[in-house]
Amino acid sequence: MTTQVVKPTTKLDQFLHEQRPPTPFVVVDVDVVADRYHELVTALPAAVVYYAVKANPAPAVLRRLVAVGSSFDVASPAEIDLCLEAGAVAGSLSYGNTVKKRRDVAYAASVGVTRYTVDAAEELDKVLSVAPGSSVCVRVRYDGATADWPLTRKFGCTPDEAARLLVDATNAGSECGISFHVGSQQRNAAAWDEPLGVVAGVFDRARDGGAAPSFVNLGGGLPGSYREAAPSLGEYGTAIGKALDGAFGDQLPDLMVEPGRYLVADAGVLRSEVVLVARRAPDEPRWVYLDCGKFHGLAETMDEAIRYRLRTNRDGGPVGPVAIAGPTCDSADVLYEKADYQLPLELAEGDMVDIMSAGAYTTTYSSVGFNGFAPLAEHYI
């Protein structure tokens, strides 16, 4: 399989051509983030968009999303502070991490955050005692097996437990609803069908028990443009709309959606430099070593799960198979060995390899100095 070559926006190209900062770095065009936000509001008009800050918490991204009217899904006090500093109001924040220190809930409540997600009775007790009267979102388990980056196992309670927690939350005087996550980089637009059916069933059972669930959080999962194509956003909008219709008919609950990857991935390019091209054995592919690896932002290449599109300054000539690795003295620092990447035969030390659609889940995954290499540099235009 050859890698696709897709041009970044003119502004990103212009930056790469004119500025040439030392590699490796990520450059993000925040106008693209704003465009993606507007496209999503059009595709899912009934849902309030809570940007999953963990995907890229850069102040420039957050300020731009505040300006276009986004709300925010936060995972920690530090992300709360970043949103508030960017101009968001506390009422637009949802504390979506289901594993929170008691003192972090207290901090969130003290600055005015009123929405919390839980997936266990113990966590519900914590939220109700530290932030009484808050809106409670109960996360139900969904395996999301068709996603490139599944978010299974660690999160979510069973439907039975979810119904019980909704009853408990209602009895405590809280507004309540359900969330799920279909898995990140979910390339199956029909993946919302099954969990929404489950949620409708949980709502029925919870209502039988006296609960008054009022909202559904559709989670994340919308894709970035990586090597394997995903459906268009319009196709996701249509599929999710149908799934909602099938599950709730004309009794549609309030809706939230928590995109991370979709809003920021395609807004960024990671530029790296070839440090070494070596042949280890005549019958093995070339090894291409970049100055950026798994420990410098490309953590999602773990198990070769996220397969980025690559672009080089040698594109156009003949290509051949490669294994691609980062620069550190750790044999885990391999990006791709099995995913059948091909790069130009002419590629050599000093050449540039652009890792496309790298605006999500890169900058904050970078180590602080493994092997003495600085954290991944970031530029925002």
DSSP result, 77-130: HHHHHHHHHTT--GGGEEE--SS--HHHHHHHHHTT--EEEE-SHHHHHHHHHH
Beta bridge pairs of residue 325: 289, 334
Whether 329 is a known active-site residue: answer yes
Among 56, 184, 188, 363, binds ligand PLP (CB under 6 A): 184
**Residue whose C-beta lies closest to ligand PLP:** 220
Residues 322-331 as b or e (16 or more Cβ within 10 Å = b): bbbbbbbeee
Interaction of residue 55 with ligand PLP, rule CB under 6 A: yes
Residues 252 and 361: their CA atoms lie apart, in Å, by 32
Interaction of residue 195 with ligand PLP, rule CB under 6 A: no
Q: How far is the CB of 102 from ligand PLP (least distance, A)?
A: 19
Q: How far is the CB of 348 from ligand PLP (least distance, A)?
A: 35
Residues 60 and 170: their CA atoms lie apart, in Å, by 38
Among 126, 181, 307, 314, binds ligand PLP (CB under 6 A): 181
For the chain, the helix, strand and coil percentages under 3-state DSSP, each to the nearest 5: 35, 25, 40
Among 8, 57, 96, 253, binds ligand PLP (CB under 6 A): 96
Interacting positions 60-89 with ligand PLP (CB under 6 A): 73
Among 34, 52, 196, 356, binds ligand PLP (CB under 6 A): 52
Q: How far is the CB of 179 from ligand PLP (least distance, A)?
A: 7
Strands (E), 187-280: 213-217, 254-257, 268-278
Give the helix/strand (H/E) hosting 159: helix 159-171
User: Residues 137, 176, 292, 329: which is the catalytic one?
Assistant: 329
Interaction of residue 8 with ligand PLP, rule CB under 6 A: no
Q: Taking every pair of C-alpha atoms in the chain, what is the biggest distance, in angstroms?
A: 70
How many residues make contact with ligand PLP (CB under 6 A)? 16
Interaction of residue 130 with ligand PLP, rule CB under 6 A: no
Fill in the DSSP letter of residue 304: G
Per-residue x/- mask for ligand PLP, residues 298 to 337, rule CB under 6 A?
----------------------------------------
Interaction of residue 150 with ligand PLP, rule CB under 6 A: no
Mark residue 156 as left, alpha or beta (left: phi above 0; alpha: psi -120 to 50; beta: remaining): left
Question: Which of 288, 285, 269 is CA-nearest to residue 381?
Answer: 269
Interaction of residue 57 with ligand PLP, rule CB under 6 A: no
**Residues in the site for ligand PLP, rule: CB under 6 A?**
52, 55, 73, 96, 151, 181, 184, 219-222, 258-262
Catalytic residues: 329
